[in-house]
Amino acid sequence: MSEENPHVKAREFSVLYRDRPAVKKVTLSIVRGAVTAIIGPSGCGKSTLLRAVNRMNDLIPGCRTEGELLLDGENIYAPGIDVVALRRRIGMVFQKPNPFPKSIFDNVAYGPRLHGRLTRQELAERVEQSLRRAALWEEVSDRLHTNALGLSGGQQQRLCIARALAVEPEMLLMDEPTSALDPRATTRIEDLIAELRGSYTILIVTHNMQQAARVSDYTAFLYEGDLIEFGPTRDLFTRPREKQTEDYLTGRFG
């Protein structure tokens, strides 16, 4: 985990919705293979920042960016960037589990079918491997061809993680992945994040500070679009440098 070679680096990076800035001139480096959490009160721009990394904000009309966002040193907002190729390298897990109304197998196989020319055998292996990594294989191996919407919320979310992993990304973006789940399912997802750490760079948005403290190596605190503080999680939670961070962590606002 070297800080010399950041996986993602934001340099004076802003996101604007119809000229109203949601993320203001943020500069930070995300360490390869580490779990980085973004915390902050509702509406502070943490989801916007997360979605900027795989350019999901492109779908929102009137949304534009300023500054640079570098993935392995390459500005992903430079003209001529292949967004499809970019999204292949960066998987995403959403707030609400959103499996497709297809079978479990087809859900996981969706990404690989899109990109690679795998044989049936390879595809089946990829699906199994992804489901194992997402700690779901044991539960669904006997009903791969039933509809994914029949799974519980927590299983659906792990299926979404498996679906993202099946594309073999370098990085995972998680947008409050446990906010729609019960405590037990939440624990499973958090355990899963701990297992995936090291193999993937993980960027997770959460409004649950305990979760950030439990799962992340680094934490960024965002407030009204400004990056207030960024550093190793332990330091930020025990010895915050900024007054605002301390106020937020102690529950004085948020």
Partner 1 sequence: MRAYYSTRHVLDRAFSGLGYGSVALMALALVALLGPIIGKGLGAYWFRGTVEFRLFVLERFHRGNAKKIGIEHREAMRAREPFWAVLRAFEAEMESDSALRRRVGKDYHRFQSHIRELLGPIPGDSPPLLMRQQYGQTRWDRALVKRHQALHIEEWDYGDGTGMGVRVWKPRRLLYAGTALEPAFDLLENHLEAMLRPRWTWYGRFLTDESFDAHFFGGIWAEMLGTLCLTVFAMLVATPIGVLSAIYLSEYAPEGKLIHLLRLFINTLAGVPSIVFGLFGMAFFIHALNVTPSKSVLAGSFTLALLVLPTLIRASEEAIRAVPQAYREAAFSLGASRWHTVATILLPAALPGILTGTVISLGRAAGETAPIIFTAAVSMGEPLRWGRLLTAPTPALPWNLYNLCTEHAAVDEIRHVQFGMALTLVALVLLLNMAGIFLRARVSRQLKV
Nearer of residues 97 and 240 to partner 1, judged by Cβ: 97
CB of 100 to partner 1, least distance (A): 6
**H or E, element range at 103:** none
Q: Which of 49, 71, 167, 181 binds partner 1 (CB under 8 A)?
A: 167
CB of 150 to partner 1, least distance (A): 4
**Binding flags for partner 1, 111-130, as an x/- string (CB under 8 A):** x--xx---------------
Q: Applying CB under 8 A, does 85 fall inside the site for partner 1?
A: yes
CB contact set of 71 (below 8 Å; sequence gap of 6+): 7, 8, 53, 86, 89, 90
Judged by CB under 8 A, the number of residues near partner 1 is 29
Q: Can you read off the two tokens belonging to residue 236?
A: 């930020």
Q: Applying CB under 8 A, does 40 fall inside the site for partner 1?
A: no
Q: Which of 87, 132, 207, 214 binds partner 1 (CB under 8 A)?
A: 87
The CB-side HSE value for 111 (13 A sphere, CA atoms) comes to 24
Q: Applying CB under 8 A, does 56 fall inside the site for partner 1?
A: yes
Nearer of residues 43 and 150 to partner 1, judged by Cβ: 150
Q: Which of 43, 72, 150, 239 binds partner 1 (CB under 8 A)?
A: 150
Nearest to 53 by CA among 90, 96, 14: 90
Q: Which of 2, 84, 121, 142 binds partner 1 (CB under 8 A)?
A: 84
Q: Applying CB under 8 A, does 149 fall inside the site for partner 1?
A: yes
Helices (H) and strands (E) in the chain, counts: 10, 10
Q: Applying CB under 8 A, does 189 fall inside the site for partner 1?
A: no
Q: Applying CB under 8 A, does 98 fall inside the site for partner 1?
A: yes
Residue found by looking up tokens 């009309």 in the block: 61
Q: Applying CB under 8 A, does 88 fall inside the site for partner 1?
A: yes
With beta carbons less than 8 A apart as the criterion, state whether 69 and 13 touch.
yes
Q: Please give the single-letter amino acid code of residue 195.
A: E
Bridge pairing between strands 8-17 and 63-71: antiparallel
Nearest to 102 by CA among 159, 180, 179: 159
27: helix, strand or coil = strand
221: helix, strand or coil = strand
Applying CB under 8 A, the residues found at the interface with partner 1 are 54, 56, 59, 61, 84-85, 87-88, 91-92, 94, 96, 98-102, 110-111, 114-115, 147, 149-150, 160, 163-164, 167, 173
